[in-house]
Structure 1
Amino acid sequence: MNGELSGYLLSFMEYMQVEKNYSAYTIKFYRLDLEDFFAFLTAQGIASLDEVGYPAGRLYLTMLHEHGYSRATVARKISSIRSFFKFLMRERIVKENPFALLSQPKQHKRLPKFFYEEEMEQLFAACEGDDALSRRNRALLEILYATGIRVSECVNIRLQDIDFEFETIHVKGKGKKERIVLFGHFAGEAVSDYMAHARKTLMRGKEDHPYLFVNARGGALTDKGVRYILNEMIKKAALTGKIHPHMLRHTFATHLLNHGADLRTVQDLLGHESLSSTQVYTHVTKEHLRQTYMAYHPRA
């Protein structure tokens, strides 16, 4: 990568971090996508971004397909480059965005996987017990299901973020955006029980930290730790397949819609910026209705 491209990339990374508040994880993939694109430019003998036009964009898109990248990966890479050129236009470094009219491959929309209410009852039954880990696991499952928060938001809940009087939690989501989520009395009782009878036991006299959920050694629980705990619940509940923490977020949204919640409310509770991100759950509920109809209507 020549010095000019390296400088533009650094400026773009700073822009995404400071002005867009993107996470380190998101910025990492932007950087990798752009470095791959810069390598392509070098291989094609294109030394300046001013020389990049629509034909070069089409050639790069063709190359991505020839290398066997999935549609989702190709779409992400093209989106990263488009955003980069949009930034360059804003900074008056280039006059046009050669990727603005480049069509991205259509992606297959997969419906989110979720748990039926009967399966959730099995998961809660798998958390029964008076030992410290069972109390923690029960509180963790109740919070994830009651709030629909992301696992990254869950592990970052601090004790001071919980308001038991108003049954709310202050969470920090994607792009450092903050919001208030609600929880019900089941989750409230489970968390209160965990804090009163399990958290200090798990801490074992170690130096205290502000995070609500702790691991078996008393440290702050991690994303990986949550996945392990949930998969152990699946085994104990004798449910098939593996669980991903996001499935509980999907379950939260799906169950709300199935019970009559409106889409805008679910959007706010999930912390989605766009309603289109929430609309995928309407497909889930419609599919659920269709399956129920086909199973029980005498002339289906």
Structure 2
Amino acid sequence: MNWDFYIKSYQSYLKIERGLSKNTVENYSFDLERLCLFLEQNAISVSPVQITQETLQQFLYALSSQVHPRSQARMISGLKSFFNYLIFEEYRTDHPLELIETPRIGRKLPDTLALDEIDALIAAIDLATDQGERNRAMLEVLYGCGLRVSELITLKISDLFFDEGFIKVTGKGNKERFVPIAELAQKYIAYYKKGVRQQLHIQKGFEDTLFLNRRGGQLSRAMIFTIIKDLSLKTGLTKKISPHTFRHSFATHLLENGADLRSIQLMLGHESITTTEIYVHLDRTFLAKVVQEFHPRKS
């Protein structure tokens, strides 16, 4: 397989799963095209799976004399995104740009949903359809448990421990964690299982998969994105949201209501607490309240 295969797969990911505009996808692709041109001009024959840190450093050094530092930062960020994608899809196990720092030029924090916005999205689901019962249960689990979309679509019936009030989640690297699940989400899952799922002709191999498509197979990540996008349009929501927005809102709302970072880290399945700190974008107002409430010399 050559660069074209990986680039086209990456473009589909950016468009369908991340919902990026055509222009943004083209910008990401342009970065990769410049890299491919550099390899061609220097007679370097290597695939995205095999390219090394040294080769990429050569490219970035050559680039530094041609473009503005801000453009360099954007291109490095774009290339890092591409290799993150390759690792996520298990084409690579290492990141060749891991040690390359991107200049800090400011970043836009992702949107979160307010509780009334989440309620409106769920209320907009058409429960007259079988897919409506399923979608309501899925959104409750996304928000109520803070799952990644990949974790949602692979959730199994055998992972449900409702008597204990937990679900078992298999995250990145097949690492398992237990996450509390609210009674409301449990109720909607029960409705879906009893009223919809048991009526499906389930495909072989998916007998234990909780959320299924109408053909009895596993849902795709793209389908979850489509469901949320349609509900967003239906409710007139102007924010740009995705399944990850529910996970981000889960963490942010817990933090704002007094949950500690360590607990949030465990529920999100983050290896490093630093990742959690960035993820929930701690704000100074909240931190001030924490000091006022808990520090022994608060007054």
Which of 73, 79, 97 is the aligned partner of 2:78?
73
SS of 2:241 mapped into structure 1: coil
SS of 1:195 mapped into structure 2: helix
Residue of structure 2 in register with 1:189 after alignment? 187
Residue of structure 2 in register with 1:142 after alignment? 140
Q: Say whether the 8 Å CA contact 1:54–1:102 is kept in structure 2.
A: no
Q: Which amino acid aligns with 2:75?
A: S
Q: Say whether the 8 Å CA contact 1:65–1:74 is kept in structure 2.
A: no
- Structure 1 106/57 Cα, relative in aligned 2: closer, same or farther at 3 Å? farther
Q: Which amino acid aligns with 2:64?
A: T
Deviations 1:67-121 (A, max 9, x none): 97534125568999xxxxxx8xxxxxxxxx9x89865433533212110111011
What RMSD in Å do the two structures reach over aligned CA positions? 4.1
Largest Rg, 1 or 2 = 1
Give distance in 2, aligned partners of 1:55 and 1:227. Answer: 35
Give distance in 2, aligned partners of 1:186 and 1:262. Answer: 23
SS of 2:278 mapped into structure 1: helix
- For residues 21-170 of structure 1, the aligned pairs below 5 Å read 40=38, 43-44=41-42, 56=58, 59-60=61-62, 62=64, 65=67, 70-75=75-80, 103-106=101-104, 108-127=106-125, 129-170=127-168
How far 1:184 moved relative to its partner?
0.6
SS of 1:169 mapped into structure 2: strand
How far 1:218 moved relative to its partner?
2.4
- Aligned identity (percent) is 33
SS of 2:137 mapped into structure 1: helix
- Structure 1 71/215 Cα, relative in aligned 2: closer, same or farther at 3 Å? same
The unaligned stretches of length 5 or more in structure 1 are 1-32, 81-86, 88-96, 291-300
SS of 1:253 mapped into structure 2: helix
Give distance in 1, aligned partners of 2:265 and 2:66. Answer: 34
Q: Say whether the 8 Å CA contact 2:38–2:59 is kept in structure 1.
A: no
SS of 1:210 mapped into structure 2: coil
Deviations 1:49-77 (A, max 9, x none): 9xx69994762452795797534125568
Residue of structure 2 in register with 1:270 after alignment? 268
Give distance in 2, aligned partners of 1:161 and 1:195. Answer: 14
Give distance in 2, aligned partners of 1:272 and 1:266. Answer: 9
Give distance in 2, aligned partners of 1:247 and 1:101. Answer: 28
Give distance in 2, aligned partners of 1:76 and 1:226. Answer: 21
How far 1:215 moved relative to its partner?
1.4
Give distance in 2, aligned partners of 1:53 and 1:144. Answer: 40
Give distance in 1, aligned partners of 2:228 and 2:129. Answer: 17
- Structure 1 62/196 Cα, relative in aligned 2: closer, same or farther at 3 Å? same
Give distance in 1, aligned partners of 2:224 and 2:126. Answer: 17
SS of 2:216 mapped into structure 1: coil
Deviations 1:96-150 (A, max 9, x none): x9x8986543353321211011101111211363542221111011100111010
Residue of structure 2 in register with 1:25 after alignment? none
Residue of structure 1 in register with 2:88 after alignment? none
Q: TM-score, normalised by structure 1?
A: 0.65
Q: Say whether the 8 Å CA contact 1:71–1:106 is kept in structure 2.
A: no
Give distance in 1, aligned partners of 2:44 and 2:182. Answer: 59
How far 1:256 moved relative to its partner?
0.5
Give distance in 2, aligned partners of 1:109 and 1:243. Answer: 17
Q: Say whether the 8 Å CA contact 1:132–1:198 is kept in structure 2.
A: yes
- Structure 1 104/236 Cα, relative in aligned 2: closer, same or farther at 3 Å? closer
Q: Which amino acid aligns with 1:263?
A: L
Give distance in 1, aligned partners of 2:64 and 2:129. Answer: 57
Q: Which amino acid aligns with 2:217?
A: G
Q: Say whether the 8 Å CA contact 2:109–2:281 is kept in structure 1.
A: yes
Give distance in 2, aligned partners of 1:288 and 1:255. Answer: 12
Give distance in 1, aligned partners of 2:84 and 2:130. Answer: 46
How far 1:46 moved relative to its partner?
8.3
State the aligned residue count.
241
Q: Which amino acid aligns with 2:78?
A: T
How far 1:41 moved relative to its partner?
6.5
- For residues 189-228 of structure 1, the aligned pairs below 5 Å read 189-201=187-199, 203-204=200-201, 209-228=207-226
Residue of structure 2 in register with 1:9 after alignment? none
- Structure 1 60/173 Cα, relative in aligned 2: closer, same or farther at 3 Å? farther
Residue of structure 1 in register with 2:296 after alignment? none
Q: Say whether the 8 Å CA contact 2:122–2:139 is kept in structure 1.
A: yes
